[in-house]
Amino acid sequence: YTVYRFRYHEAFMAASDKLDLLMGGINTCVLILSSLTMAMAVHSAQVNKRRSLIAYLLLTMALGGTFLGIKAFEYAHKFAENLVPGPSFTFHGPNPQNAQLFFSFYFALTGFHALHMVVGVGLLSVIVWMAYRGRFSREYHNPVENVGLYWHFVDVVWIFLFPLLYLVGHHQ
């Protein structure tokens, strides 16, 4: 990505301008908030507050779902504008071939990230079930912490993806 971004800077900037900065920014806020709720879930497990643990886990899952919903909305918009790489790709700007390369990176990186979000929501659903069944206590809460670490890692990845993809063309 970095090599191509440097080599085709103008095309990558123009293509990045086609991304919805507001939606990307909202998704960034959603994920930062989900990291907070995940941290609160871990704390609730550590102090043996089962109801709070379940509530924070469900809230984290809802925020993850919100992120995925916004991403689906963005993807649908890209399909409607024919900005999906392939034979029907249409780009009215400099170097459409290089802009298509940008969108290949966009869909690959954000799609892989979304897949990890889906895995995270799945893991959280298992942890919610275990919490509901009373499996966690002050002495045993490692699974909550481990899933929390995974969730935070996926959130941090987005913190890097957002500027790499959405802010390339918004430097002015």
User: What's the confidence (pLDDT) of residue 94?
Assistant: 85
Q: What is the mean pLDDT of residues 142-148?
A: 98
Q: Reply yes or no on whether the pLDDT at 170 is more than 80.
A: no
**Best CA proximity match to 49, nearest among 111, 115, 141, 118:** 141
| Prediction pTM value | 0.94
Taking only the tens place, the pLDDT of each residue in 94-141 is: 899 999 999 999 999 999 999 999 999 999 999 999 999 999 999 999
**Angle made by CA atoms 99, 100, 105, in degrees to the nearest 5:** 95
Q: Are 128 and 169 in contact (CB under 8 A)?
A: no
Q: What is the mean pLDDT of residues 16-27?
A: 96
